[in-house]
Structure 1
Protein backbone atom coordinates (compact mmCIF):
# COMPACT_ATOMS: atom_id res chain seq x y z
CA UNK A 1 0.00 0.00 0.00
CA UNK A 2 1.46 3.34 -1.02
CA UNK A 3 1.84 5.78 1.84
CA UNK A 4 0.30 9.22 1.51
CA UNK A 5 2.66 12.10 0.89
CA UNK A 6 3.48 14.23 3.90
CA UNK A 7 1.45 17.43 4.16
CA UNK A 8 3.14 20.47 2.68
CA UNK A 9 3.39 22.20 6.05
CA UNK A 10 5.10 19.13 7.54
CA UNK A 11 7.67 19.10 4.74
CA UNK A 12 8.28 22.82 5.13
CA UNK A 13 8.75 22.47 8.89
CA UNK A 14 11.15 19.56 8.44
CA UNK A 15 13.15 21.59 5.95
CA UNK A 16 13.24 24.56 8.31
CA UNK A 17 14.47 22.35 11.15
CA UNK A 18 17.16 20.91 8.88
CA UNK A 19 18.39 24.42 8.04
CA UNK A 20 18.40 25.45 11.70
CA UNK A 21 20.21 22.25 12.70
CA UNK A 22 22.85 22.96 10.07
CA UNK A 23 23.29 26.46 11.44
CA UNK A 24 23.43 25.41 15.08
CA UNK A 25 26.01 22.72 14.30
CA UNK A 26 28.19 25.14 12.38
CA UNK A 27 31.32 26.78 13.70
CA UNK A 28 30.42 29.76 11.54
CA UNK A 29 27.37 30.70 13.60
CA UNK A 30 28.03 33.37 16.25
CA UNK A 31 27.08 32.88 19.86
CA UNK A 32 23.94 34.97 19.47
CA UNK A 33 22.02 32.27 17.62
CA UNK A 34 21.31 29.84 20.48
CA UNK A 35 18.55 27.34 21.10
CA UNK A 36 16.96 29.55 23.74
CA UNK A 37 16.42 32.36 21.25
CA UNK A 38 14.32 30.15 19.01
CA UNK A 39 12.52 28.24 21.73
CA UNK A 40 9.11 28.93 20.23
CA UNK A 41 9.30 25.44 18.72
CA UNK A 42 8.64 24.08 22.21
CA UNK A 43 9.87 20.51 22.39
CA UNK A 44 11.42 21.05 18.96
CA UNK A 45 14.71 22.75 18.40
CA UNK A 46 14.87 24.32 21.88
CA UNK A 47 15.00 20.88 23.53
CA UNK A 48 18.64 19.85 24.12
CA UNK A 49 17.51 16.18 23.98
CA UNK A 50 15.85 16.53 20.58
CA UNK A 51 17.46 14.38 17.92
CA UNK A 52 19.01 16.36 15.12
CA UNK A 53 17.45 16.07 11.68
CA UNK A 54 20.75 14.53 10.65
CA UNK A 55 22.02 17.42 8.58
CA UNK A 56 25.68 18.27 8.98
CA UNK A 57 26.78 21.66 10.14
CA UNK A 58 27.59 24.27 7.53
CA UNK A 59 31.17 23.76 6.39
CA UNK A 60 31.86 27.40 5.58
CA UNK A 61 30.53 30.82 6.45
CA UNK A 62 29.16 31.19 2.92
CA UNK A 63 27.25 27.92 3.38
CA UNK A 64 25.94 29.12 6.75
CA UNK A 65 24.67 32.29 5.09
CA UNK A 66 22.91 30.16 2.49
CA UNK A 67 21.23 28.09 5.20
CA UNK A 68 20.09 31.25 6.97
CA UNK A 69 18.58 32.63 3.76
CA UNK A 70 16.84 29.32 3.09
CA UNK A 71 15.48 29.25 6.65
CA UNK A 72 14.11 32.76 6.22
CA UNK A 73 12.27 31.74 3.04
CA UNK A 74 10.82 28.62 4.70
CA UNK A 75 9.79 30.71 7.68
CA UNK A 76 7.89 33.09 5.40
CA UNK A 77 6.13 30.18 3.70
CA UNK A 78 5.09 28.63 7.03
CA UNK A 79 3.91 32.00 8.29
CA UNK A 80 1.83 32.53 5.13
CA UNK A 81 -0.09 29.27 5.68
CA UNK A 82 -0.62 29.96 9.36
CA UNK A 83 1.67 27.24 10.74
CA UNK A 84 3.78 29.67 12.76
CA UNK A 85 2.40 32.49 14.92
CA UNK A 86 3.48 35.94 13.84
CA UNK A 87 5.23 36.74 17.13
CA UNK A 88 7.16 33.47 17.04
CA UNK A 89 8.16 34.05 13.42
CA UNK A 90 9.38 37.53 14.34
CA UNK A 91 11.51 36.07 17.14
CA UNK A 92 13.20 33.59 14.85
CA UNK A 93 13.61 36.07 12.03
CA UNK A 94 15.41 38.45 14.37
CA UNK A 95 17.75 35.64 15.42
CA UNK A 96 18.40 34.73 11.79
CA UNK A 97 18.97 38.37 10.80
CA UNK A 98 21.41 38.74 13.68
CA UNK A 99 23.27 35.62 12.58
CA UNK A 100 23.41 36.80 8.96
CA UNK A 101 24.68 40.25 9.95
CA UNK A 102 27.43 38.89 12.15
CA UNK A 103 28.50 36.04 9.87
CA UNK A 104 28.53 38.51 6.96
CA UNK A 105 30.74 40.91 8.92
CA UNK A 106 33.22 38.12 9.66
CA UNK A 107 33.26 37.06 5.99
CA UNK A 108 33.84 40.64 4.85
CA UNK A 109 36.61 41.11 7.38
CA UNK A 110 38.34 38.02 6.01
CA UNK A 111 37.87 39.28 2.46
CA UNK A 112 39.12 42.76 3.37
CA UNK A 113 42.34 41.25 4.70
CA UNK A 114 43.05 40.24 1.08
CA UNK A 115 43.07 43.88 -0.03
CA UNK A 116 46.78 44.28 -0.56
CA UNK A 117 49.46 44.61 -3.20
CA UNK A 118 48.69 45.46 -6.80
CA UNK A 119 45.09 46.36 -7.70
CA UNK A 120 44.47 46.82 -11.44
CA UNK A 121 41.43 48.53 -12.94
CA UNK A 122 40.26 46.84 -16.13
CA UNK A 123 38.72 49.57 -18.27
CA UNK A 124 37.88 48.65 -21.89
CA UNK A 125 38.83 52.22 -22.84
CA UNK A 126 42.35 51.80 -21.42
CA UNK A 127 43.72 48.71 -23.13
CA UNK A 128 45.59 50.06 -26.12
CA UNK A 129 43.00 48.42 -28.38
CA UNK A 130 43.51 44.98 -26.83
CA UNK A 131 40.98 42.58 -25.31
CA UNK A 132 40.25 43.66 -21.71
CA UNK A 133 40.38 40.04 -20.56
CA UNK A 134 43.90 39.71 -21.96
CA UNK A 135 44.94 42.74 -19.89
CA UNK A 136 43.32 41.19 -16.81
CA UNK A 137 45.03 37.84 -17.30
CA UNK A 138 48.37 39.56 -17.80
CA UNK A 139 47.83 41.60 -14.62
CA UNK A 140 47.09 38.47 -12.58
CA UNK A 141 50.07 36.65 -14.08
CA UNK A 142 52.20 39.66 -13.16
CA UNK A 143 51.14 39.48 -9.50
CA UNK A 144 47.95 41.55 -9.17
CA UNK A 145 45.86 40.49 -6.16
CA UNK A 146 42.78 42.51 -7.12
CA UNK A 147 41.01 43.54 -10.30
CA UNK A 148 38.27 46.09 -10.81
CA UNK A 149 35.87 46.11 -13.75
CA UNK A 150 35.16 49.74 -14.65
CA UNK A 151 33.12 50.24 -17.81
CA UNK A 152 31.45 53.63 -18.11
CA UNK A 153 30.15 53.10 -21.65
CA UNK A 154 28.37 49.75 -21.96
CA UNK A 155 25.11 48.63 -20.36
CA UNK A 156 25.33 46.17 -17.50
CA UNK A 157 23.99 43.31 -19.60
CA UNK A 158 26.85 43.84 -22.03
CA UNK A 159 29.35 43.92 -19.15
CA UNK A 160 28.15 40.62 -17.68
CA UNK A 161 30.15 38.23 -19.95
CA UNK A 162 33.43 40.04 -19.21
CA UNK A 163 32.50 40.25 -15.53
CA UNK A 164 31.87 36.50 -15.44
CA UNK A 165 35.21 35.78 -17.09
CA UNK A 166 37.01 38.10 -14.68
CA UNK A 167 35.31 36.50 -11.67
CA UNK A 168 36.36 33.05 -12.81
CA UNK A 169 39.91 34.28 -13.41
CA UNK A 170 40.06 35.74 -9.90
CA UNK A 171 38.55 32.64 -8.29
CA UNK A 172 41.14 30.44 -9.99
CA UNK A 173 43.97 32.65 -8.71
CA UNK A 174 42.67 33.48 -5.21
CA UNK A 175 42.26 37.11 -6.23
CA UNK A 176 39.39 39.54 -5.63
CA UNK A 177 37.20 41.14 -8.32
CA UNK A 178 35.64 44.51 -7.55
CA UNK A 179 32.79 45.88 -9.66
CA UNK A 180 32.70 49.63 -10.11
CA UNK A 181 29.40 51.39 -9.30
CA UNK A 182 26.91 48.62 -10.08
CA UNK A 183 25.69 46.80 -6.96
CA UNK A 184 23.31 44.61 -8.94
CA UNK A 185 26.09 43.42 -11.25
CA UNK A 186 28.32 42.66 -8.25
CA UNK A 187 25.46 40.72 -6.64
CA UNK A 188 24.81 38.77 -9.84
CA UNK A 189 28.48 37.78 -10.09
CA UNK A 190 28.95 37.07 -6.36
CA UNK A 191 28.97 36.25 -3.61
CA UNK A 192 32.48 34.78 -3.44
CA UNK A 193 35.53 36.59 -4.88
CA UNK A 194 33.38 39.59 -5.90
CA UNK A 195 32.88 42.97 -4.20
CA UNK A 196 31.73 46.48 -5.06
CA UNK A 197 33.30 49.94 -5.26
CA UNK A 198 31.23 53.12 -5.07
CA UNK A 199 32.10 56.77 -5.43
CA UNK A 200 30.91 59.69 -3.34
CA UNK A 201 27.86 60.28 -5.55
CA UNK A 202 27.03 56.63 -6.25
CA UNK A 203 24.61 54.42 -4.34
CA UNK A 204 25.04 54.99 -0.57
CA UNK A 205 26.75 52.21 1.36
CA UNK A 206 23.61 51.22 3.29
CA UNK A 207 21.53 50.97 0.12
CA UNK A 208 24.24 49.01 -1.69
CA UNK A 209 24.34 46.54 1.22
CA UNK A 210 20.68 45.74 0.60
CA UNK A 211 21.59 44.53 -2.90
CA UNK A 212 24.83 42.70 -2.12
CA UNK A 213 25.16 39.35 -0.39
CA UNK A 214 26.09 39.75 3.30
CA UNK A 215 29.68 38.60 2.75
CA UNK A 216 30.53 40.85 -0.21
CA UNK A 217 33.06 43.61 0.48
CA UNK A 218 32.33 47.21 -0.37
CA UNK A 219 34.85 50.00 -0.92
CA UNK A 220 34.28 53.74 -1.25
CA UNK A 221 36.26 56.57 -2.87
CA UNK A 222 37.46 59.48 -0.76
CA UNK A 223 39.19 62.72 -1.66
CA UNK A 224 39.32 64.20 1.85
CA UNK A 225 40.40 62.83 5.23
CA UNK A 226 36.96 63.64 6.65
CA UNK A 227 35.34 61.50 3.96
CA UNK A 228 37.42 58.49 5.03
CA UNK A 229 35.93 58.80 8.51
CA UNK A 230 32.47 59.16 6.97
CA UNK A 231 32.96 56.09 4.77
CA UNK A 232 33.97 53.99 7.76
CA UNK A 233 30.96 55.18 9.75
CA UNK A 234 28.79 54.12 6.81
CA UNK A 235 30.30 50.64 7.01
CA UNK A 236 32.74 50.58 4.09
CA UNK A 237 35.10 47.59 4.26
CA UNK A 238 37.95 49.48 2.61
CA UNK A 239 38.61 53.05 1.52
CA UNK A 240 40.32 54.51 -1.53
CA UNK A 241 42.22 57.79 -1.39
CA UNK A 242 43.70 59.88 -4.18
CA UNK A 243 44.77 60.99 -6.58
CA UNK A 244 48.33 60.46 -5.38
CA UNK A 245 49.93 62.01 -8.44
CA UNK A 246 48.81 63.61 -11.68
CA UNK A 247 46.71 61.13 -13.62
CA UNK A 248 45.52 60.98 -17.21
CA UNK A 249 42.90 58.24 -16.93
CA UNK A 250 40.36 60.16 -14.85
CA UNK A 251 39.50 63.85 -14.85
CA UNK A 252 40.80 65.37 -11.60
CA UNK A 253 40.43 69.09 -10.94
CA UNK A 254 42.22 69.09 -7.57
CA UNK A 255 45.93 69.08 -6.90
CA UNK A 256 47.40 65.61 -6.24
CA UNK A 257 47.22 64.41 -2.65
CA UNK A 258 50.77 63.08 -2.50
CA UNK A 259 52.32 60.69 0.03
CA UNK A 260 52.27 63.23 2.90
CA UNK A 261 48.49 63.53 2.76
CA UNK A 262 48.31 59.76 2.46
CA UNK A 263 50.01 59.48 5.86
CA UNK A 264 47.09 61.46 7.32
CA UNK A 265 44.67 59.17 5.53
CA UNK A 266 46.47 56.18 7.02
CA UNK A 267 46.09 57.64 10.50
CA UNK A 268 42.34 58.07 9.95
CA UNK A 269 41.70 54.70 8.29
CA UNK A 270 40.82 51.70 10.45
CA UNK A 271 40.15 49.55 7.38
CA UNK A 272 42.39 48.66 4.42
CA UNK A 273 43.55 51.75 2.55
CA UNK A 274 43.83 51.82 -1.25
CA UNK A 275 45.98 54.50 -2.90
CA UNK A 276 45.08 55.50 -6.46
CA UNK A 277 45.99 57.98 -9.14
CA UNK A 278 49.09 58.41 -11.30
CA UNK A 279 51.06 55.66 -9.57
CA UNK A 280 53.87 53.91 -11.45
CA UNK A 281 56.71 51.58 -10.58
CA UNK A 282 58.98 54.63 -10.39
CA UNK A 283 56.92 56.56 -7.81
CA UNK A 284 55.15 53.82 -5.86
CA UNK A 285 57.70 53.46 -3.03
CA UNK A 286 56.73 56.64 -1.11
CA UNK A 287 53.06 55.63 -1.39
CA UNK A 288 53.71 52.21 0.12
CA UNK A 289 55.91 53.72 2.82
CA UNK A 290 53.11 56.19 3.67
CA UNK A 291 50.88 53.26 4.60
CA UNK A 292 48.85 52.15 1.58
CA UNK A 293 47.68 48.54 1.78
CA UNK A 294 46.91 48.30 -1.93
CA UNK A 295 48.13 50.22 -4.96
CA UNK A 296 45.48 50.82 -7.61
CA UNK A 297 46.49 51.55 -11.22
CA UNK A 298 44.85 51.64 -14.63
CA UNK A 299 47.07 52.92 -17.43
CA UNK A 300 50.30 51.76 -15.78
CA UNK A 301 49.24 48.23 -16.73
CA UNK A 302 46.41 48.63 -19.25
CA UNK A 303 48.35 50.93 -21.58
CA UNK A 304 51.75 49.29 -21.13
CA UNK A 305 53.32 47.61 -24.18
CA UNK A 306 53.73 44.47 -22.06
CA UNK A 307 51.01 44.48 -19.35
CA UNK A 308 52.31 41.36 -17.60
CA UNK A 309 55.82 42.76 -17.32
CA UNK A 310 54.42 46.09 -16.12
CA UNK A 311 52.35 44.34 -13.43
CA UNK A 312 55.36 42.29 -12.37
CA UNK A 313 57.53 45.41 -12.13
CA UNK A 314 54.91 47.17 -9.99
CA UNK A 315 54.48 44.12 -7.77
CA UNK A 316 58.22 43.91 -7.18
CA UNK A 317 58.42 47.66 -6.48
CA UNK A 318 55.62 47.32 -3.90
CA UNK A 319 57.41 44.37 -2.28
CA UNK A 320 60.75 46.19 -2.25
CA UNK A 321 59.12 49.17 -0.50
CA UNK A 322 57.83 46.90 2.25
CA UNK A 323 54.30 46.33 0.99
CA UNK A 324 52.33 43.09 1.28
CA UNK A 325 51.87 41.40 -2.06
Structure 2
Protein backbone atom coordinates (compact mmCIF):
# COMPACT_ATOMS: atom_id res chain seq x y z
CA UNK A 1 0.00 0.00 0.00
CA UNK A 2 1.57 3.24 -1.12
CA UNK A 3 1.64 6.25 1.19
CA UNK A 4 2.45 9.80 0.12
CA UNK A 5 1.94 13.34 1.28
CA UNK A 6 -0.79 15.19 -0.49
CA UNK A 7 -2.05 18.77 -0.43
CA UNK A 8 -5.76 18.42 0.17
CA UNK A 9 -7.80 21.10 -1.51
CA UNK A 10 -11.28 21.31 0.02
CA UNK A 11 -14.14 21.36 -2.42
CA UNK A 12 -15.83 24.43 -1.06
CA UNK A 13 -17.03 27.13 -3.41
CA UNK A 14 -14.46 29.49 -1.85
CA UNK A 15 -11.71 27.16 -2.89
CA UNK A 16 -13.08 26.65 -6.34
CA UNK A 17 -13.26 30.38 -6.84
CA UNK A 18 -9.71 30.97 -5.74
CA UNK A 19 -10.74 32.91 -2.70
CA UNK A 20 -9.47 30.38 -0.24
CA UNK A 21 -8.67 30.90 3.39
CA UNK A 22 -5.37 29.61 4.67
CA UNK A 23 -7.12 28.30 7.79
CA UNK A 24 -9.69 25.92 6.37
CA UNK A 25 -9.19 24.81 2.80
CA UNK A 26 -5.62 23.61 2.47
CA UNK A 27 -4.36 20.81 4.66
CA UNK A 28 -1.31 18.59 4.49
CA UNK A 29 -2.49 15.05 5.16
CA UNK A 30 -1.27 11.51 4.75
CA UNK A 31 -3.29 9.85 2.03
CA UNK A 32 -3.38 6.20 1.10
CA UNK A 33 -4.60 4.59 -2.07
CA UNK A 34 -7.45 2.11 -1.61
CA UNK A 35 -8.64 -0.67 -3.90
CA UNK A 36 -12.15 0.02 -5.19
CA UNK A 37 -13.01 -3.64 -4.50
CA UNK A 38 -12.31 -3.14 -0.78
CA UNK A 39 -14.62 -0.15 -0.32
CA UNK A 40 -17.83 -0.69 1.64
CA UNK A 41 -20.71 -1.38 -0.77
CA UNK A 42 -22.95 1.10 1.02
CA UNK A 43 -20.41 3.84 0.36
CA UNK A 44 -20.19 2.83 -3.30
CA UNK A 45 -23.98 3.06 -3.46
CA UNK A 46 -23.84 6.61 -2.07
CA UNK A 47 -21.37 7.58 -4.79
CA UNK A 48 -23.44 6.06 -7.58
CA UNK A 49 -26.62 7.72 -6.31
CA UNK A 50 -24.82 11.07 -6.20
CA UNK A 51 -23.60 10.70 -9.77
CA UNK A 52 -27.11 9.79 -10.92
CA UNK A 53 -28.57 12.80 -9.14
CA UNK A 54 -26.06 15.39 -10.33
CA UNK A 55 -25.30 14.20 -13.86
CA UNK A 56 -27.98 11.72 -14.96
CA UNK A 57 -26.95 11.95 -18.62
CA UNK A 58 -23.26 11.29 -18.07
CA UNK A 59 -21.72 7.83 -17.93
CA UNK A 60 -19.45 8.46 -14.98
CA UNK A 61 -18.24 5.87 -12.52
CA UNK A 62 -15.64 5.70 -9.72
CA UNK A 63 -12.23 4.52 -10.92
CA UNK A 64 -9.80 5.43 -8.13
CA UNK A 65 -10.08 5.76 -4.36
CA UNK A 66 -8.00 7.43 -1.67
CA UNK A 67 -8.46 7.76 2.08
CA UNK A 68 -7.30 10.43 4.53
CA UNK A 69 -8.24 12.48 7.59
CA UNK A 70 -9.19 16.11 7.19
CA UNK A 71 -8.13 18.86 9.60
CA UNK A 72 -11.10 18.01 11.89
CA UNK A 73 -10.05 14.38 12.21
CA UNK A 74 -12.82 13.04 9.95
CA UNK A 75 -11.84 9.96 7.94
CA UNK A 76 -12.71 10.68 4.30
CA UNK A 77 -13.02 8.40 1.30
CA UNK A 78 -12.38 10.35 -1.91
CA UNK A 79 -13.45 8.94 -5.27
CA UNK A 80 -12.02 9.99 -8.61
CA UNK A 81 -14.51 9.46 -11.40
CA UNK A 82 -13.89 8.17 -14.91
CA UNK A 83 -13.52 11.65 -16.45
CA UNK A 84 -10.42 12.06 -14.21
CA UNK A 85 -11.68 15.45 -12.99
CA UNK A 86 -14.81 14.78 -10.96
CA UNK A 87 -14.58 13.99 -7.25
CA UNK A 88 -16.99 12.61 -4.66
CA UNK A 89 -16.17 12.68 -0.92
CA UNK A 90 -17.84 10.41 1.62
CA UNK A 91 -17.53 10.20 5.40
CA UNK A 92 -16.11 6.73 6.07
CA UNK A 93 -17.71 6.36 9.51
CA UNK A 94 -21.20 7.67 8.79
CA UNK A 95 -21.19 6.55 5.13
CA UNK A 96 -22.82 9.86 4.25
CA UNK A 97 -21.99 12.15 1.34
CA UNK A 98 -19.76 15.12 2.20
CA UNK A 99 -19.43 16.80 -1.19
CA UNK A 100 -19.31 16.25 -4.91
CA UNK A 101 -17.62 18.27 -7.63
CA UNK A 102 -18.24 17.65 -11.34
CA UNK A 103 -16.81 19.97 -14.02
CA UNK A 104 -18.52 20.75 -17.32
CA UNK A 105 -17.23 22.34 -20.52
CA UNK A 106 -19.22 25.28 -21.80
CA UNK A 107 -20.67 23.11 -24.57
CA UNK A 108 -21.98 20.57 -22.05
CA UNK A 109 -24.08 23.10 -20.14
CA UNK A 110 -27.77 23.05 -21.03
CA UNK A 111 -28.43 26.23 -23.10
CA UNK A 112 -31.75 26.74 -21.27
CA UNK A 113 -29.91 26.90 -17.92
CA UNK A 114 -27.44 29.42 -19.27
CA UNK A 115 -30.17 31.54 -20.82
CA UNK A 116 -31.93 31.71 -17.46
CA UNK A 117 -28.73 32.74 -15.65
CA UNK A 118 -27.78 35.44 -18.17
CA UNK A 119 -31.31 36.84 -18.11
CA UNK A 120 -31.05 37.25 -14.34
CA UNK A 121 -27.58 38.78 -14.70
CA UNK A 122 -28.96 41.46 -17.03
CA UNK A 123 -31.60 42.34 -14.46
CA UNK A 124 -28.87 42.49 -11.82
CA UNK A 125 -26.70 44.85 -13.90
CA UNK A 126 -27.49 45.52 -17.55
CA UNK A 127 -23.93 46.66 -18.27
CA UNK A 128 -22.24 43.43 -17.21
CA UNK A 129 -20.81 41.14 -19.86
CA UNK A 130 -20.33 37.42 -19.32
CA UNK A 131 -19.15 34.73 -21.74
CA UNK A 132 -19.25 31.16 -20.44
CA UNK A 133 -15.93 29.32 -20.32
CA UNK A 134 -16.80 26.27 -18.19
CA UNK A 135 -18.96 25.27 -15.26
CA UNK A 136 -18.98 23.19 -12.10
CA UNK A 137 -21.81 21.17 -10.59
CA UNK A 138 -21.31 21.31 -6.82
CA UNK A 139 -23.06 19.71 -3.88
CA UNK A 140 -22.01 20.14 -0.23
CA UNK A 141 -24.18 18.51 2.40
CA UNK A 142 -23.10 20.37 5.53
CA UNK A 143 -23.44 23.81 3.92
CA UNK A 144 -26.65 22.74 2.15
CA UNK A 145 -25.29 23.73 -1.25
CA UNK A 146 -26.70 22.31 -4.45
CA UNK A 147 -25.41 24.63 -7.13
CA UNK A 148 -24.08 25.38 -10.56
CA UNK A 149 -21.01 27.63 -10.80
CA UNK A 150 -20.36 29.33 -14.14
CA UNK A 151 -16.96 30.83 -15.01
CA UNK A 152 -16.24 33.73 -17.34
CA UNK A 153 -13.76 33.43 -20.23
CA UNK A 154 -12.17 36.77 -19.29
CA UNK A 155 -11.22 35.75 -15.77
CA UNK A 156 -11.45 32.57 -13.72
CA UNK A 157 -12.28 34.73 -10.69
CA UNK A 158 -15.42 36.07 -12.39
CA UNK A 159 -18.27 33.69 -11.73
CA UNK A 160 -22.00 33.24 -11.30
CA UNK A 161 -23.65 30.81 -8.90
CA UNK A 162 -27.14 29.40 -9.47
CA UNK A 163 -29.15 27.44 -6.93
CA UNK A 164 -30.03 24.17 -8.65
CA UNK A 165 -33.41 23.73 -6.94
CA UNK A 166 -34.81 27.22 -7.51
CA UNK A 167 -32.89 28.26 -10.61
CA UNK A 168 -32.14 31.58 -8.91
CA UNK A 169 -28.88 33.46 -9.31
CA UNK A 170 -27.51 33.64 -5.76
CA UNK A 171 -23.93 34.84 -6.18
CA UNK A 172 -22.16 37.13 -8.63
CA UNK A 173 -18.49 38.10 -8.83
CA UNK A 174 -17.52 40.22 -11.83
CA UNK A 175 -15.37 43.14 -12.90
CA UNK A 176 -16.87 46.50 -11.98
CA UNK A 177 -16.53 49.80 -13.83
CA UNK A 178 -14.17 52.13 -11.98
CA UNK A 179 -16.24 55.12 -13.11
CA UNK A 180 -19.27 53.72 -11.24
CA UNK A 181 -17.42 53.09 -7.99
CA UNK A 182 -18.54 55.10 -4.97
CA UNK A 183 -15.67 57.57 -4.22
CA UNK A 184 -16.22 57.00 -0.49
CA UNK A 185 -15.14 53.37 -0.92
CA UNK A 186 -11.89 54.53 -2.53
CA UNK A 187 -11.28 56.86 0.42
CA UNK A 188 -11.85 54.00 2.86
CA UNK A 189 -9.46 51.76 0.91
CA UNK A 190 -6.74 54.41 0.77
CA UNK A 191 -7.02 55.05 4.50
CA UNK A 192 -6.66 51.32 5.19
CA UNK A 193 -3.45 51.21 3.16
CA UNK A 194 -2.09 54.23 5.03
CA UNK A 195 -2.96 52.52 8.33
CA UNK A 196 -0.88 49.54 7.13
CA UNK A 197 1.92 51.97 6.21
CA UNK A 198 1.39 51.27 2.52
CA UNK A 199 0.77 53.37 -0.58
CA UNK A 200 -2.31 53.73 -2.75
CA UNK A 201 -2.23 55.80 -5.96
CA UNK A 202 -4.64 55.36 -8.85
CA UNK A 203 -7.32 52.65 -8.88
CA UNK A 204 -6.48 50.04 -11.53
CA UNK A 205 -9.18 47.41 -11.16
CA UNK A 206 -12.39 46.76 -9.21
CA UNK A 207 -14.31 43.55 -8.58
CA UNK A 208 -17.78 43.38 -7.10
CA UNK A 209 -18.86 40.25 -5.24
CA UNK A 210 -22.44 39.83 -4.03
CA UNK A 211 -23.85 36.72 -2.37
CA UNK A 212 -27.37 36.26 -1.05
CA UNK A 213 -26.31 33.37 1.17
CA UNK A 214 -24.04 35.67 3.20
CA UNK A 215 -26.03 38.85 2.57
CA UNK A 216 -22.97 40.77 1.46
CA UNK A 217 -21.92 43.15 -1.27
CA UNK A 218 -18.14 43.57 -1.44
CA UNK A 219 -15.83 45.62 -3.61
CA UNK A 220 -12.20 44.59 -4.04
CA UNK A 221 -10.24 47.67 -5.05
CA UNK A 222 -6.82 47.09 -6.59
CA UNK A 223 -4.42 49.99 -7.05
CA UNK A 224 -1.80 50.47 -9.77
CA UNK A 225 0.99 49.36 -7.40
CA UNK A 226 -0.77 46.02 -6.73
CA UNK A 227 -2.05 46.84 -3.26
CA UNK A 228 -5.70 45.93 -2.69
CA UNK A 229 -8.47 46.38 -0.16
CA UNK A 230 -11.84 44.60 0.19
CA UNK A 231 -14.61 46.84 1.48
CA UNK A 232 -18.29 46.24 2.28
CA UNK A 233 -20.21 48.41 -0.18
CA UNK A 234 -23.00 49.10 2.32
CA UNK A 235 -21.24 49.53 5.68
CA UNK A 236 -17.86 50.67 4.29
CA UNK A 237 -16.22 48.25 6.70
CA UNK A 238 -12.80 46.88 5.68
CA UNK A 239 -12.40 43.09 5.49
CA UNK A 240 -9.06 42.59 3.72
CA UNK A 241 -5.92 44.64 3.25
CA UNK A 242 -2.96 43.48 1.15
CA UNK A 243 0.36 45.28 0.55
CA UNK A 244 2.17 43.93 -2.47
CA UNK A 245 5.35 45.92 -1.77
CA UNK A 246 5.81 44.11 1.56
CA UNK A 247 4.97 40.67 0.19
CA UNK A 248 8.33 38.95 -0.20
CA UNK A 249 6.89 35.74 -1.58
CA UNK A 250 6.63 33.68 1.61
CA UNK A 251 4.84 34.06 4.92
CA UNK A 252 7.24 33.77 7.82
CA UNK A 253 6.12 31.77 10.86
CA UNK A 254 9.40 32.10 12.77
CA UNK A 255 8.42 34.91 15.16
CA UNK A 256 7.15 34.42 18.70
CA UNK A 257 3.45 34.80 19.40
CA UNK A 258 4.14 37.69 21.75
CA UNK A 259 6.08 39.62 19.12
CA UNK A 260 3.48 38.97 16.44
CA UNK A 261 0.59 40.05 18.68
CA UNK A 262 2.42 43.21 19.71
CA UNK A 263 3.02 44.11 16.06
CA UNK A 264 -0.52 43.27 14.95
CA UNK A 265 -2.50 44.89 17.79
CA UNK A 266 -2.35 48.58 16.72
CA UNK A 267 -2.81 47.68 13.03
CA UNK A 268 -5.84 45.46 13.64
CA UNK A 269 -7.39 48.14 15.85
CA UNK A 270 -7.03 50.74 13.09
CA UNK A 271 -8.17 48.49 10.27
CA UNK A 272 -11.03 46.53 11.82
CA UNK A 273 -11.63 48.25 15.18
CA UNK A 274 -10.87 44.93 16.88
CA UNK A 275 -8.97 44.86 20.18
CA UNK A 276 -6.66 41.83 20.29
CA UNK A 277 -6.16 42.09 24.07
CA UNK A 278 -8.12 38.90 24.87
CA UNK A 279 -7.18 37.09 21.64
CA UNK A 280 -4.85 34.10 21.57
CA UNK A 281 -2.26 33.34 18.88
CA UNK A 282 -1.98 29.58 18.20
CA UNK A 283 1.19 28.20 16.67
CA UNK A 284 1.03 29.14 12.98
CA UNK A 285 1.11 26.69 10.10
CA UNK A 286 1.60 29.13 7.21
CA UNK A 287 -0.34 32.13 8.52
CA UNK A 288 -1.02 33.73 11.90
CA UNK A 289 -4.51 33.51 13.39
CA UNK A 290 -5.78 35.66 16.24
CA UNK A 291 -8.70 33.90 17.98
CA UNK A 292 -11.19 34.63 20.71
CA UNK A 293 -13.34 31.69 21.76
CA UNK A 294 -13.69 28.29 20.14
CA UNK A 295 -14.91 29.63 16.79
CA UNK A 296 -15.29 32.99 15.07
CA UNK A 297 -18.48 35.02 15.31
CA UNK A 298 -19.62 38.38 13.98
CA UNK A 299 -19.00 39.97 17.39
CA UNK A 300 -15.65 38.20 17.88
CA UNK A 301 -14.23 37.52 14.41
CA UNK A 302 -11.01 35.65 13.83
CA UNK A 303 -8.22 37.75 12.35
CA UNK A 304 -5.68 36.23 9.98
CA UNK A 305 -2.42 37.66 8.75
CA UNK A 306 0.70 37.04 6.70
CA UNK A 307 4.02 38.40 7.87
CA UNK A 308 7.28 38.79 5.95
CA UNK A 309 10.80 37.95 7.12
CA UNK A 310 11.28 41.51 8.40
CA UNK A 311 8.41 41.07 10.82
CA UNK A 312 6.04 43.29 8.81
CA UNK A 313 2.45 42.26 8.16
CA UNK A 314 1.58 42.51 4.49
CA UNK A 315 -1.95 41.09 4.64
CA UNK A 316 -4.82 40.96 7.11
CA UNK A 317 -8.29 39.44 6.71
CA UNK A 318 -11.15 38.53 9.01
CA UNK A 319 -13.34 35.46 9.45
CA UNK A 320 -16.78 36.20 10.89
CA UNK A 321 -17.85 32.56 11.03
CA UNK A 322 -20.23 33.10 8.11
CA UNK A 323 -17.61 33.58 5.42
CA UNK A 324 -13.85 34.00 5.25
CA UNK A 325 -12.42 36.91 3.32
CA UNK A 326 -8.88 36.99 1.96
More helix by share: 1
Structure number with greater CO (CA < 8 Å, separation at least 6) is 1
Same fold (TM over 0.5): no
Pair member with larger Rg? 1
More strand by share: 2
In the superposition, the TM-score normalised over structure 1's length comes to 0.24
